[in-house]
Each structure stands twice: as C-alpha cells, then as structure tokens.
Amino acid sequence: MDLSVSLVAREASQGHGPSPGFGLNGLPRPAPPKAAKKPKKGVLFFEVEILDAKTREKLCFLDKVEPHATIAEIKNLFTKSHPQWYPARQSLRLDPKGKSLKDEDVLQKLPVGTTATLYFRDLGAQISWVTVFLTEYTGPLFIYLLFYFRVPFIYGHKYDFTSSRHTVVHLACICHSFHYVKRLLETLFVHRFSHGTMPLRNIFKNCTYYWGFAAWMAYYINHPLYTPPTYGAQQVKLALAIFVICQLGNFSIHMALRDLRPAGSKTRKIPYPTKNPFTWLFLLVSCPNYTYEMGSWIGFAIMTQCLPVALFSLAGFIQMTIWAKGKHRSYLKEFRDYPPLRMPIIPFLL
C-alpha cells in the first residue's frame, strides 16, 4: 500500500478529513461551476390611445404606461397634454356611449389589449360637492328669515319688521332654520363624499329648487293673513314630534354611514343597524336617511298646513325615491349577501 494513501486513511479514521479545497490526493479541487443567473423578465408596458367620444379624433397617445396604472393616473397624464381638461372634467370610457371608468380601476384588469383605446368626454366645469351643499343650504336659511322678519317691500309697509301673533309661525321658523343649520354642519363635519365634484351647471338647477321653494313656503307661512292649522295646538304638537324624531333619525343614519367609510376611502360596505335605535330602520330599508328626511317634511307640512310645503314634500319624495332605488339596485348588484327583506325607502312597499 502506498504510504500517502495510508496516511490519508489514518487521518480520516481519527476524524481529520482532507483540507477544504483539496482532494484525497492532496491536490487542489477544481472550483464548482457558478449557477447561471436567471434573466430578468421585461416589464410589459401598455400603450394608451385616447380618442374623442364624439368625433373619434385622436387626442392623446401615451407610450409605456405601467400595467398597474389606475384611471386616475392616466387622467393626470392626459392633463399634461391638455391642461384645459383637468382630471375632474374627464370621463374616460371603453366605449363611446358606455359608462365612465372609475378612478380606481387598474389598466391591466380592464378588458383591453396592450394597446388600449379609451374614449374621452368633457364633463364640463366642475365644482366641489361641499361648495354645492353649502350654497344650496345657506340660501333657504336666509331667504326664509327675510320673510319671517318681514323685511320691507314683501308684505307692504305697514307690516315691515312686524311679528306674527301665531305661535306656530315662530315654531315653523325654528324648525326650518334648525333643519338647514343641521345640513350645513353635516356637510362640514359629517359627510364623506365618494365623488369630489359635480358639474357646475347643476348648482343653478339645485339652487333654483331649494331657494325657490323656500321663498314660496316662507311667503305663505309668514304672511300677515296666515291662519293656524285646523286642529290647533294638538295638530302642531303631533307634527312637531314627528319632525324632531325624524331629524334625530336622519342625523343618526348620517353618522352611521360616516362610520362605515374610513376617511379618504371609497370602500363600500353593507350598512347594518347599530346600538342606536334610530338605525334599526336599516333592517327594513336601504336608505333610511331619505325615509327620515321625508318624515321631517311631512311633519312640517302637518304643522304649517301649507300647500307649498306639501308640494315641496311631494317633489322631494319623488326625487329621493329615485335616488333610493338607484342605491338599492347598486347594493343588490355589488353584494350577493345583501338582506333580501329591505326595500329602497318605504318598508314593505317601495
């Protein structure tokens, strides 16, 4: 037996192996081959073509758009080439006559290829919802007070700055003012808007509705020849109770909806009743805030026994029913486990 081999065998039996990097014969081992690096996958960028929805004219071509880009980010890119159309004015669609895409929609999740075609519509000048609500609600508050204090040139000089002798007139002023002050405070501190703006032209239509009805109601309720309700104090007390209960209910629903959506989020959840008894109406209707709002104006109409108030209540009910049905359909479409017992605005009926 060779002497070098026997020495190696003896070292192995004593727990001493060959030195790292050396073979059994004492010669250096060849270095192991390095693992080949995996080539990095290239990022697949999108090309976005934006056409005018009416004329099909090409307005913008965006190259190398990230696949995870949102519609909001695409709007910002579009604004760079067309500053006159800021993001709030833009409506981007997959079809010229289709629905607007949501700002949070992700490009790669849309049914488009790597070269996407979007259609643009100008929504017109926009105004924030907060500004809209503050304008809508401030007007009726001050207009009603002008008639209540009987400022000059409304009812004739002999009635300038006089006061009504009927208690219900003063009570009606308190209720009307309370309602709109509540709305203003809710706009500033409670409501969270899923959409930041609305078309500027709508504010003129909305203000005409709110301001016009406020003046019409106030003119008759505060008129020197106004007569109190048929059933006197009993009718007024019943109506006042309805008004107060519904105002508290409306505020409770607004607070529940506010707590349902974290600040800065557009997350939608199914609203459920809370420990507050006023929110238990969620068991039966999808939009109890409209139900309570309607109840408030019914109470005000009973209290004043005034035809313009009744007509305002009817117009409001029709509009709120349309909104409630739309939201109810949206809930049913979005949530498979949505409670089947609920109706849009009136329990068991509508």
Pull the structure tokens for residue 317.
């009910």
Mean pLDDT computed over 239-254: 98
The number of beta carbons lying within 10 Å of the beta carbon of residue 143 is 21
DSSP state of 126: E
User: 239 and 300 in contact (C-beta within 8 Å)?
Assistant: yes
Domain boundaries along the sequence of the chain: 46-124, 127-228, 229-350
Residues in contact with 127: Cβ distance below 8 Å, sequence separation at least 6, in sequence order: 197, 198, 199, 200, 203
Mean pLDDT computed over 288-298: 98
Pull the structure tokens for residue 345.
């605005």
Report the Cα 146 to chain-centroid distance in Å.
Answer: 34
Distance CA 196, CA 170 (A): 37
Residue count of the chain: 350
Distance CA 257, CA 271 (A): 7
Whether 28 has a pLDDT exceeding 80, the answer reads no
Q: Give 197's strand partners.
A: 128
For domain 46-124, the CATH class is alpha beta
Mean pLDDT computed over 317-326: 97
User: 239 and 303 in contact (C-beta within 8 Å)?
Assistant: yes
Mean pLDDT computed over 274-296: 97
The overall longest dimension of the chain from CA atoms, in Å, is 139
The alpha carbon torsion through 31, 36, 37, 38 (nearest 10 deg) reads -160
pTM metric for this prediction: 0.80
56-72: per-residue pLDDT in tens?
A: 999 999 988 998 999 99
